[in-house]
Structure 1
Amino acid sequence: MATVLVVDDAAFMRMMLKNMLIKNGFEVVAEAENGEKAVEMYKQYKPDLVTMDITMPDMDGIEAVEQIKLVDSGAKIVMCSAMGQQAMVLNAIKAGAKDFIIKPFEEERVVASLKQILE
């Protein structure tokens, strides 16, 4: 069972994503509400996968991706973005993210993306 770290500054988004993942056989090992916490949690739990929001206080998702990649160059990170954040998504991919999923989340798309990255 793949372990996942869910990162989003909105608690309801984390809960929604977490429920979706658990229902589809993933194990959510930790959650973080900003980039700094995400980096800490990554070091602590070393999850198979990270879902990373782009826009967050303190440290945004792009910076968090860069920091996590310094810790583990093989980290698998999927960005979560709202529509209209294409430029930021491209920056995140350049920083090392593997894919992106768009909010509001469509369960099938989310699960398919995560499974593909884990293969």
Structure 2
Amino acid sequence: MKRILVVDDAGFMRASLKMMLERNGHQVVGEAENGLVAVTKYKEIRPDIVTMDITMPVCDGIKAVKMIKEFDPDAKVIMISSMGQECFVRDAILAGAKGFIVKPFKEDYVIQAIEKL
């Protein structure tokens, strides 16, 4: 069982990911609606894994990954991007993300990506 922080500006997407993860034996220990909240919660909760949306208000996912990796170089972050945002994937990996998931995603792919870490 992994302890996971779910970060996405869309509440329905956080709820969907939470249901998938919990149905497969993982624990969602926190949620954040933007990158700044994600960094704060990461520092408080110290989850095993973070799922991070790329496009969010206030602070995008790539900036948030950089801040989290500065705080904890061993942090495990999986980026989530919408179709058409593939150009951001390279930036996310360079920022320290360990993988990526493209929306719309299938449950088995999400669980596979989580369990690889």
TM-score, length-scaled by structure 2? 0.99
- Give the structure 2 partner of residue 62 of structure 1: 62
- Give the corresponding residue for 1:49: 49
Q: Could you tell me which residue of structure 2 aligns to residue 7 of structure 1?
A: 7
TM superposition shift of 1:26: 0.5
Q: Tell me the TM-score normalized by structure 1.
A: 0.97
SS in 1 for 2:83: coil
Amino acid aligned to 2:72:
D
| Percent identity (aligned) | 56
Give the RMSD, CA atoms, in angstroms.
Answer: 0.5
Task: Deviation per CA, 1:36-64: give whole Å up to 9, x if none.
Answer: 00000000000000000000000000000
Q: How many residues align?
A: 117
1:25 alignment partner in structure 2: 25
In structure 2, C-alpha distance between the alignment counterparts of 1:105 and 1:75, rounded to whole Å: 23
Q: Structure 1 stretches of 5 or more lacking a match?
A: none
> Does residue 103 of structure 1 match 2:103?
yes
Q: What letter corresponds to residue 53 of structure 2 in structure 1? A: D
Post-superposition shift, 1:84?
A: 1.2
Cα deviation, 1:50-80, whole Å, max 9, x if unaligned, reads 0000000000000000000001000000000
- Between the aligned partners of 1:102 and 1:109, the Cα distance in structure 2 is 10
Which residue of structure 1 lines up, in the alignment, with residue 115 of structure 2? 115
Measure, in 2, the Cα distance between the counterparts of 1:112 and 1:2.
Answer: 13
CA distance in structure 2 between the aligned counterparts of 1:94 and 1:87, rounded to whole angstroms:
12
Runs ≥4 residues deviating over 2 A: none
Q: Structure 2: give runs of 5+ residues left out of the alignment.
A: none
Residue 111 (structure 1) shift: 0.2
Alignment correspondent of 1:77: 77
SS at match of 1:25: coil
